């Protein structure tokens, strides 16, 4: 069995598992296969966790909903590459889905507006333009 099919087989076996060793996380990381280093992946994970926390707080979501969104994001990136999936988009989707799962529903347009406001908080003009486009 060649290396590629062995990796595919092993990752299929782990698809429904909730627990992984550090070695398994490193060996099967789709981001690593796309050239993202362990350090860079760790930094991006910290970024999206902080982003989810900030957006969740601004939306006044309970801590459980924020934690669920972070777990959704971590699970997504176990099987998908950070290089191919923008973390801000995925984190925003995870917040929206977590709000539904945890019975603290938040309208999608509100989640998007707050997420964009958080992304562009250092550029108020862009945040204002985006807000105007979504309200017209």
The CATH number that applies at residue 85 is 1.10.472.10
Domain count, the chain: 1
Q: What are φ and ψ of residue 29, in 5° steps?
A: -65, 120
Please give the Cα distance from 76 to 83 (Å, whole number).
13
Tokens describing residue 120: 């562009």
Residue 4 in this model has a pLDDT that exceeds 70: no
Tokens describing residue 87: 């973390």
Burial 52-77, CB ≥16 within 10 A → b, else e: bbbbbeebebeeebbbbbbebbeebb
pLDDT number for residue 120: 86
The residue among 72, 68, 42, 66 whose CA lies nearest residue 54 is: 66
pLDDT number for residue 5: 46
For residue 87, tell me if it sits in a domain: yes
Residue 133 in this model has a pLDDT that exceeds 80: no
Q: Average pLDDT of 67-83?
A: 93
For residue 122, tell me if it sits in a domain: no
pLDDT number for residue 9: 44
* Range of the structural domain that residue 57 is part of: 36-106
For residue 61, tell me if it sits in a domain: yes
Question: Mean pLDDT of all residues in the chain?
Answer: 84
Please give the Cα distance from 119 to 4 (Å, whole number).
37
For residue 98, tell me if it sits in a domain: yes
Q: Which of 58-62, 114-118, 123-127, 132-136 is least confident?
A: 132-136
Q: Average pLDDT of 57-80?
A: 95
For residue 112, tell me if it sits in a domain: no
Q: Which of 38-52, 68-82, 110-124 is least confident?
A: 110-124
pLDDT number for residue 27: 73
Tokens describing residue 55: 């957006």
pLDDT number for residue 32: 85
Q: Which of 71-75, 77-81, 103-107, 130-134 is least confident?
A: 130-134
For residue 117, tell me if it sits in a domain: no
Q: pLDDT for 8-18, tens place per residue?
A: 444 555 556 66
């Amino acid at each position: 069995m060649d290396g590629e099919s062995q990796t595919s087989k092993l990752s299929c076996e782990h698809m429904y598992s909730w627990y992984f060793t550090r070695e398994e996380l490193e060996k099967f990381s789709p981001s690593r296969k796309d050239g993202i280093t362990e350090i860079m992946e760790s930094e991006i994970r910290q970024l999206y966790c902080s982003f989810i926390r900030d957006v969740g707080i601004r939306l006044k979501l309970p801590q459980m909903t924020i934690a669920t969104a972070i777990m959704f994001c971590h699970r997504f990136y176990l099987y998908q590459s950070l290089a191919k999936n923008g973390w801000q988009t995925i984190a925003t989707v995870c917040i929206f889905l977590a709000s539904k799962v945890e019975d603290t529903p938040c309208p999608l347009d509100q989640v998007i507006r707050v997420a964009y406001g958080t992304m562009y908080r250092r550029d108020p003009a862009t945040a204002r333009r985006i807000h105007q486009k979504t309200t017209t």
